[in-house]
Structures are given as structure tokens and as C-alpha cells.
Structure 1
Amino acid sequence: MPETTQTASDRMIEAAGRLFSERPFDAVSTREIASAAGVNLSAISYHFENKEGLHRAIFRKIIQDLKPVRVGLAILLENQLTAARDDRKAYADFIAIFVSRVVDSAFSPSTRWKMRLLKRETEMPTECFQILMEGHVDVIHDLLGILIAKISGDSPTSEKVKLEANAILSLCLQYALNEELVKARLGWTSIGPSEIQKIKNITTEMILRSVNLGEYSGLTTKG
């Protein structure tokens, strides 16, 4: 199968995204972006109008790339809740699968810079913050909220459930977002499949205990 050739706009999104994931928006110049993407400086204004337009395009592209994660989790949750009725083991299985998929996505080489950029955006919001929230974060949080509410009996829109959903997602992502710290503390030279599995196991166990499903730790279906 022939390799897919990146368009100039794709190269600019990729190059600028990596640069923005390392430094604040104002610290990255259009000249630097153009050089990293291998295009003329005028290409940015031609394709995106300006640096701000390119920045927005990066976030829209990331949200589009993460669509399979959102859709897959939504389908899984719907199927799991339909089959579960009051089967708490089925809820625990969903949590294990959720953790596995989110951790895999966070550690994927193709998404590492994207995760760093999303973290930077939540810490130093720009006009793209709302794009990120509405396009991805709110969707994932709401899916978790539905499950947490089903387990606890609370309203999925309550502050308590929203805070719990935020804590769960943060726990799933924090190892990938703090990789150097994790390696230093654990004495790991790298984080490969076996280390990632350990991270999944401990994360799943912690979350199950936090939602009063600790009795299913080690007994869940992972995928």
C-alpha cells in the first residue's frame, strides 16, 4: 500500500502542534512553524489566515482524531449499561476497559504531543479552551458521569459526580503526562507494554475502590 503524503496544511498542523505543546502560544513564531513544516512563511496565512487560525485548526484536528475514542466509549457504555441492569460487576468491567483505552491513547507515540498540548491548554487557556471542552472533555466527563451516577444513585449533573469524573480522568492521564517523574520514582528506564500494564492495573484498582467497587479489583474484563 502506498504511503500517504501529508499535505502542506497537515505538515503545518503537526509541526505547530508539537511546538505549541512545548511552549506557550506567544513564544512560538510563525517563521519557526514554517521552517519546521518545510513551507514558505506565506503558507500559514494562505491556509489558516494567521497563527491564531492555525492554532484553532490544531485543536479541531486533535478533536477529530480522538473521535474514535469518544464514540467507542459511548457505544461500550450504552451496551454495558443495557446488559448490566443492576450487575455491579458489569460496571467494574466498563471502568477497567475505560482505563485501558484512555491509558493506551495517552501513551500512544502518535498522541503524546497532543496530550501535552491539551494539558497546556487546560493550564493556560486560550480561545481554544472552549473548543477542547465542548468537543472532547465534556463528552468524556459526561460518559463517566452517567456511569458514576448509575453506581452511586446521584444525579449525573451533580457537582459531586462531576468532580469524581474529573478525578478519574485525571488519574488515567497523569502517568503519561508526568512520564519523567514516574520513571524517576519507579527506577524505570522507559515505559513499555509491561510498565503500562502495571499502570493500568493500579489505576483500575484505585478507581474501583473510589466508587465502592473494590471487591471486583483483579476480577474485571480488560480491553
Structure 2
Amino acid sequence: MSSPPPTSETRDRLIEAGIRLFAEHGFKGVAVRDLCTEAEANIAAVNYHFGSKQGLYAAIFDTTLAADEARFREALATITALAERGRDEPSQLATAVNLYVRNLLGPLTGEERMRWFAVLAIREMAFPGDGFEQIYRRRAEPAQTALTRIVIAARQADTACETDCLQAHALLGMIWSFGIAKAILWKRLDWERYTPERIQTISDIITDLMCRALGIAPDRRPGERADTSTTG
């Protein structure tokens, strides 16, 4: 059997197919033939482009995380800086919480591809496999560290204790629930999808709840529009 041509299109289709199939069925539940059929690729394409099914699985995490890495790191740096300023300016802590929620909520409620990847990432966190270390090192640990910085700034502490880490984990769970348990929410509210308006409402509610839990005055109540006026 001849090898498939070395096209980036075939490689991209295999990654797209892998994100959805692995999210739906887990790593062990997907055969190479399934991946190639879904991607409309030659049966040898997975080995040709990735070396193995494991290679494709690793490439899915590396490619997807790398595509958003710069934005994610920049957002966390801004959030951390706001948290530090919030020790002297409490309003900055509310801004940090709002920015944190919007940046973490986005992938869980955004475009179809990222929603599937979020499901795959959640699967890895529930049942750690070959993608867990990438998720932990490149997303989970930095995200939890940034939120812990907000927690310790809110209580005017210099270093984090175990309770701070537990509180950050609990607060982060509020955001994750809108990805993990979205089917329950959609059924309860008779929704078919997340719309930009619904995502904004969810973001406002989570921000308000997190601020209250941390004893921070939110910059606005849920449902209120942000002040977009400017001063000369």
C-alpha cells in the first residue's frame, strides 16, 4: 500500500477527527481505522504523519495548546499583575476576577472545535492518560496559580497556604461546571447552545459569586452592563 502524500491538509484533518473521536470515546475506544475514515485519509496516514495513534494523540494536545498559548500566558500575566495591585486598590481584584472568568470560560463555551477539546481535556483530568501532563503543565497549573494569587491578595497574605489552594480549586470548579455539566444546564433551561448573550450572563454571575466568596466588591452586579463611557 502506498504512503499518503505529505500534505498539511491530511494532517490537519486527522487532528480535527481525533479531537472529536477521542473526546467522545476515549483513547482506547478509537481505532486507527476510525480516525482515517473520519478524516477521509489513507489507512496509513496516522503512522505516516504521527508515527502512531499515541503520536497523534500527543500532537492534538501540543497543536491545540500551542495555538492559544501566547494569549493564555499574556492574560494570566495581566491577571497576576492586577491581583498584586489589588492589595492596595481593591477594585483591581474585581477586574482580575472578571478577566480570569472570561478567559477560562471561553474555551468551554466557544467554537465547536474548542468545545470538543475542552471535553477531551476534562476526560484527561478525570482519567489521566498521555495528555494529562501537557494539560497540567500548560493550562491547569498556571490557571490555578493565577487564581491562588487572587485568593491570597484578597486576604492580604504574602504566601499561599493549603486552604488557599483548596479555595482556588473550588472556585475554578464553578467555571468548569459550565463545560462538564452543560447538558444538565441546557436541558433545565431548554437551551440548544450557548449564545454570546448567555455566555456574558454566565460570566457576570460567576464573577459576582467569586467576588462575594473572596470578600471583594464586584465592579458591577449580574445583568448590569459595563460602563463603556470615556472621559476626556
Fold conserved between structures, TM > 0.5: yes
- More divergent stretch after superposition (15-24 vs 77-86): 77-86
* Contact 2:19–2:116 under 8 Å retained in 1: yes
TM-score, length-scaled by structure 1: 0.87
Instruction: Say if 1:197 and 1:220 are closer, same or farther in 2 by CA, change over 3 A.
Output: closer
Inter-partner Cα distance in structure 2 for 1:121 and 1:108: 20
Instruction: Say if 1:143 and 1:187 are closer, same or farther in 2 by CA, change over 3 A.
Output: same
Q: How many residues align?
A: 219
CA-to-partner distance for each residue in 1:48-87, whole Å, 9 max, x for gaps? 1111111111111222123144223223124424644511
CA-to-partner distance for each residue in 1:83-108, whole Å, 9 max, x for gaps? 44511111011101211222223211
Tell me the percent identity.
Answer: 24
Who is 1:149 aligned against?
152
**Paired residue type of 2:146:** L
For structure 1, the residue ranges without an aligned partner over 5 or more in a row are: none
Q: CA deviation at 1:169?
A: 2.1
* Contact 1:70–1:140 under 8 Å retained in 2: no
* Contact 1:70–1:139 under 8 Å retained in 2: no
Aligned counterpart for 2:55 among listed residues 49, 53, 56: 53
Q: CA deviation at 1:28?
A: 0.4
Inter-partner Cα distance in structure 2 for 1:151 and 1:220: 25
Who is 1:87 aligned against?
89
CA-to-partner distance for each residue in 1:16-67, whole Å, 9 max, x for gaps? 1110000121110000001111211211111211111111111112221231
Q: Does 1:126 align with 2:138?
A: no
Q: Does 1:158 align with 2:165?
A: no
For structure 2, the residue ranges without an aligned partner over 5 or more in a row are: 1-6
**Paired residue type of 1:134:** R
Q: CA deviation at 1:134?
A: 0.9
**Paired residue type of 2:63:** K
Report the secondary structure of 2:28's partner residue: helix
Aligned counterpart for 1:176 among listed residues 176, 179, 193: 179
TM-score, length-scaled by structure 2: 0.84
- Compute the RMSD of aligned alpha carbons: 2.4
Q: Does 1:32 align with 2:45?
A: no
